[in-house]
Amino acid sequence: MATILIHGGAGTIPESDRAAYQAGLRGARDAGFALLADGADALSAALVAVSLMEDNAEAFNAGTGGSPNRDGVVECDAAAVSGWDGSAGAVGAVTRAKNPVLLADRVRRESPHVMLVGAGADMFVADPIDNTLLLTPRTQAAYEAWRQEKGEPTNSATVGAVVCDREGRLAAATSTGGMLGKWPGRVGDAPLVGAGTYADRFVAVSCTGKGEAFIRAVTAKGLAERYRAGDDLQELIAKALAEVLHFNGSGGLICVTSEGRIGFGFNSRNMAYAWKTDSGGERPEAAEVGLEPGVYTL
């Protein structure tokens, strides 16, 4: 049963941005699902969905539109994980990639390593771009406002996808522009396999929110272990979010199982999400900004 579930980040999403979020979610979801319908594998669909959100300058914080660090530089993190064979690739604090998630997948496919960061990651970019091209008027204005206030780094929205293809293969991909005003070199949970992104033969997970809390809770791997132990999907998502909250974090996560069942939850004010499945169920598709924190399964 082909299933794709994506997120566009968790936090407080202003009413003025929600139309752009809805349009971006639908476009990314439908493009990923179209590949699944044509028989593509799960990771290919996840990469297409996430890369489209990276290219969306109107809504999301990943790739183009990523959040500048305290020096005004956009540093991006991303990961791509195949649950079927266990292969994974990740990049951290990369500054010259238009699509960090595709660079992460290149690390997975072409390097002997799982993760490259900083200058090493930038050297692996096939077509490097100037970092200023990742800035948009929206993110530049946010940076100038943050610099005037001289506040703490603020959370920004991540994007991610979890997919089950028609062969039951699973994959997860996550990408983020990080925190606005973060220290240079800071890496969040998104590229850390087992913290913000994970997939095996049973479940795939992508997280979004305060990265430090998800790292400390090892959220994605913890959820997967509980699922393999037989825990109820709704209960284990609630447990994962409770652990994040224990580390003073807020955010959300999405997951899909090898049977094509989906689950998601968030303890932030909002989370943007969308799904589509060929199961013919009562709600075969959705694309929305969640207004009520909670845990949901389908």
Domain layout of the chain by residue ranges: 3-278
Query: How far is it, in rounded angstroms, from Cα 73 to Cα 124?
Result: 19
Read off the pLDDT of residues 214-237 as tens digits, 9 standing for 90 and up. Answer: 999 999 999 999 999 999 999 999
What does DSSP say about strands 170-176 and 197-199: parallel, antiparallel, or unpaired?
Answer: unpaired
- The verdict on whether 158 is a catalytic residue reads yes
Which segment of 50-59, 227-236, 280-289 scores lowest on mean pLDDT?
A: 280-289
Within a 10 A sphere around the Cβ of 130, how many other Cβ atoms? 9
Would you state the pLDDT for residue 12? 87
Within a 10 A sphere around the Cβ of 57, how many other Cβ atoms? 17
Contact 166, 42 (CB under 8 A): no
Contact 249, 213 (CB under 8 A): yes
- b/e per residue, 29-41, with b = 16+ CB within 10 A? bbebbebbeeebb
Q: Where are the beta strands (DSSP E) in 178-266?
A: 197-199, 203-209, 251-257, 262-266
CA neighbor of 8 nearest in space, from 208, 154, 261: 208
Would you state the pLDDT for residue 65? 93
* Options 3, 64, 139, 158, the catalytic residue: 158
The pTM of this model reads 0.95
Q: How far does Cα 72 stand from its chain's mean position?
A: 22
Phi/psi of residue 272, nearest 5 degrees: -90, 130
Q: Where are the beta strands (DSSP E) in 12-94?
A: 76-82, 88-94
Burial class for 80, CB neighbours closer than 10 Å (0-12, 13-18, 19+): buried
The helix/strand/coil state of 241 is: helix
Contact 107, 89 (CB under 8 A): yes
Would you state the pLDDT for residue 184? 96
Would you state the pLDDT for residue 153? 61
Question: H helices then E strands: how many in the chain?
Answer: 8, 13
CA neighbor of 273 nearest in space, from 53, 34, 81: 53
Read off the pLDDT of residues 189-207 as tens digits, 9 standing for 90 and up. Answer: 999 999 999 999 999 999 9
CATH level 3 topology of 3-278: Glutamine Phosphoribosylpyrophosphate, subunit 1, domain 1 (3.60.20)
Query: How far is it, in rounded angstroms, from Cα 40 to Cα 254?
Result: 21
